[in-house]
C-alpha cells in the first residue's frame, strides 16, 4: 500500500529524530571527533534527499539502512570538496573511493551501531568540556535536536546555545579526543561524568517549566535510552547505573499525571495515580533491586529509593515519610544542594504531622 504524504513526513521525522545519532556516531568512528561538523552537514543533506525522493519513489523498505548508505556516499562527496584536501586531490580521491567500497565503513550489525553510540556518548561528555557544553552537544549530536529546541530546553537564547555547541566542537578538534570508551582506571571516573550528564538531561526534561510537553517528553525518553545503552554495555557494570535508571523510571512513570488539561503542573500530592505507568514503576523496582548488589550507596540510589517510597504507597497520605526522612538524612551528606535540603524539610514536616 502506497504511503500518504503525511505518513512519509511522519516517517522522515521519526527517522531523523531516532536514527540521526547513529549516523553521526558511525561517521565519527570513521573520520574522528574533529569532523562533527561534517556529520551534521551530512544529516542535513540526507534529510533533503529523503524529502525529495521519498514522495516520488516511496519509503525505502529499510529506512534506517537507507540512511546509513546515503551517509556513506555523502561523506565521501563532502570530504572530496574540502578545500584543505585539494592539494592532494588524487591521493584523497583514491583513499575515499576505497572507503566507499568498504562495507564496514557504515556498520550494519546492531551491536556495532550500539558501540558507536556508546563512544559518542563518552565523547560528548568528555571532561574537557564544560557541563553546559556537554549537555548541549549531547542533545544536538545524539538526538538531532535543533538549536531552537536546545535553547528552549536550556532556557537560553538561541545564540547562546549555538555558541556552546560551536565551542564544544572546536575544543574536540583542538584536543583530538580519541573516539573510544575509556578502559582501566579511567573508566569509572568517566562513567560518573556521563551519568551526571544523563541525570541533568533527564531532569531538564522532567522538571523544566517549558510548556512544550512533547519536547520535554523526548528529552526524558532520550536520557533513558542512553542510560539503558550504557547499562547494556561492558562499561555498564556499576550498580549506580541501575540506580539512575530506577530513578528515571519512577519519575517518568508519572509524566502523564503531571498536568491538568489547562497545563497547570501538579505536585505528587494531587496527581491521579491511575495515570501512572505501573509497568514502568515495576521495572523501576527491579532496577533498584539490581542496584543493591554493590557496597557503595550513591545519590542515585537514595533518590530512587525516595521515589520508590512514593510509588509503593497506596496514597500520598499513606507515604512512609519517616523512611523518606531517613533517606534524605543520608542524601544531604552527599549532596547539600538547597533543593535536597528543601525536600528533607518537607518530608520532616509530613512525618511530624
Mean pLDDT across the stretch 290-310?
Answer: 93
Give the separation between CA 174 and CA 190, rounded to whole angstroms. Answer: 20
Q: At what angle do helices 278-291 and 299-312 cross, to 10 degrees?
A: 140
- Which residues fall within 8 angstroms of residue 122, CB to CB, at 6 or more apart? 180, 181, 182, 190, 194
Q: What is the pLDDT of residues 89-98, one digit of tens each?
A: 454 445 445 5
64: pLDDT confidence band, cut at 50, 70 and 90? confident
Give the separation between CA 152 and CA 136, rounded to whole angstroms. Answer: 11
Mean pLDDT across the stretch 219-238?
Answer: 92
Give the range among 179-183, 230-234, 243-247 with minimum mean pLDDT. 179-183
Q: At what angle do helices 239-252 and 299-312 cross, to 10 degrees?
A: 40
Report CA 65 to chain centroid distance, whole Å. 22
Q: What is the pLDDT of residues 129-140, one digit of tens each?
A: 999 999 999 999
Give the separation between CA 70 and CA 106, rounded to whole angstroms. Answer: 10
pLDDT tops 50 at residue 1: no
- Tell me the percentage of the chain whose pLDDT exceeds 90: 46
CA dihedral (82, 84, 86, 89) positive or negative: negative
Strand partners, 259: 265
In degrees to the nearest 10, what's the CA dihedral of 182, 185, 186, 191? 80
- Residue 71: its pLDDT value, please? 81
- Residue 275: its pLDDT value, please? 94
Contact 46, 78 (CB under 8 A): no
| Helix, strand, or coil (residue 222) | helix
Q: What is the pLDDT of residues 2-51, one digit of tens each?
A: 677 777 877 788 777 777 888 888 888 877 777 788 888 888 888 888 88
Considering the entire predicted model, what is its pTM? 0.84
263 or 278: which carries more pLDDT confidence? Answer: 278
Q: What is the pLDDT of residues 311-350, one digit of tens each?
A: 999 999 899 999 999 999 999 999 988 999 999 999 999 9
- Here the cell at position 9 is 513526513
Q: 192 to each of 230, 255, 270, how far by Cα in Å?
A: 12, 26, 35
Give the separation between CA 132 and CA 166, rounded to whole angstroms. Answer: 12
Contact 297, 330 (CB under 8 A): yes
- Which residues fall within 8 angstroms of residue 259, CB to CB, at 6 or more apart? 213, 265, 266
Of 78, 222, 209, 74, nearest in space to 138 by CA: 222
Contact 243, 300 (CB under 8 A): yes
Report CA 306 to chain centroid distance, whole Å. 24
Give the separation between CA 66 and CA 59, rounded to whole angstroms. Answer: 10
Mean pLDDT across the stretch 51-70?
Answer: 84
- Residue 99: its pLDDT value, please? 46
Give the separation between CA 92 and CA 313, rounded to whole angstroms. Answer: 65
DSSP assignment string, 122-161: HHHT-TTS-HHHHHHHHHHHHH---HHHHHHHHTS-HHHH
Helix (H) or strand (E) holding 61: none
Amino acid at each position: 500500500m502506497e504511503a500518504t504524504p503525511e505518513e512519509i513526513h511522519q516517517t522522515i521525522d521519526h527517522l531523523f529524530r531516532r536514527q540521526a545519532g547513529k549516523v553521526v556516531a558511525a561517521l565519527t568512528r570513521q573520520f574522528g571527533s574533529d569532523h562533527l561538523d561534517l556529520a551534521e552537514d551530512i544529516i542535513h543533506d540526507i534529510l533533503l534527499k529523503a524529502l525529495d525522493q521519498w514522495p516520488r519513489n516511496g519509503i525505502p523498505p529499510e529506512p534506517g539502512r537507507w540512511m546509513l548508505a546515503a551517509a556513506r556516499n555523502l561523506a565521501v562527496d563532502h570530504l572530496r570538496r574540502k578545500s584543505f584536501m585539494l592539494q592532494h586531490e588524487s591521493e584523497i580521491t583514491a583513499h575515499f573511493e576505497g572507503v566507499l567500497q568498504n562495507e564496514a565503513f557504515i556498520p550494519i550489525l546492531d551491536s556495532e551501531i550500539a558501540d558507536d553510540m556508546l563512544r559518542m556518548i563518552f565523547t560528548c561528555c568528555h571532561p574537557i568540556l564544560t557541563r553546559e557544553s556537554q549537555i548541549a552537544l549531547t542533545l544536538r549530536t545524539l538526538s538531532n535536536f535543533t538549536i531552537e529546541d536546545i535553547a528552549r530546553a536550556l532556557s537560553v537564547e538561541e545564540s547562546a546555545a549555538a555558541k556552546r555547541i560551536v565551542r564544544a566542537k572546536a575544543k574536540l578538534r583542538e584536543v583530538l579526543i580519541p573516539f573510544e570508551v575509556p578502559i582501566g582506571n579511567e573508566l569509572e571516573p568517566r562513567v560518573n561524568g556521563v551519568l551526571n550528564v544523563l541525570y541533568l538531561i533527564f531532569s531538564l526534561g522532567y522538571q523544566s517549566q517549558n510548556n512544550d510537553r512533547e519536547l520535554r517528553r523526548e528529552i526524558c525518553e532520550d536520557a533513558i535510552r542512553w542510560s539503558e545503552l550504557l547499562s547494556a554495555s561492558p562499561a555498564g557494570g556499576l550498580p549506580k547505573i541501575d540506580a539512575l535508571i530506577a530513578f528515571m523510571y519512577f519519575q517518568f512513570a508519572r509524566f502523564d499525571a503531571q498536568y491538568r488539561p489547562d497545563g497547570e503542573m501538579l505536585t505528587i500530592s494531587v496527581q491521579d495515580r491511575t495515570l501512572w505507568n505501573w509497568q514502568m514503576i515495576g521495572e523501576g523496582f527491579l532496577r533498584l533491586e539490581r542496584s543493591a548488589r554493590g557496597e557503595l550507596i550513591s545519590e542515585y540510589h537514595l533518590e530512587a529509593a525516595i521515589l520508590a517510597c512514593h510509588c509503593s504507597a497506596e496514597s500520598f497520605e499513606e507515604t512512609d515519610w519517616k523512611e523518606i526522612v531517613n533517606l534524605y538524612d543520608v542524601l544531604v551528606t552527599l549532596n547539600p544542594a538547597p533543593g535536597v535540603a528543601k525536600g528533607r524539610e518537607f518530608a520532616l514536616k509530613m512525618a511530624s504531622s
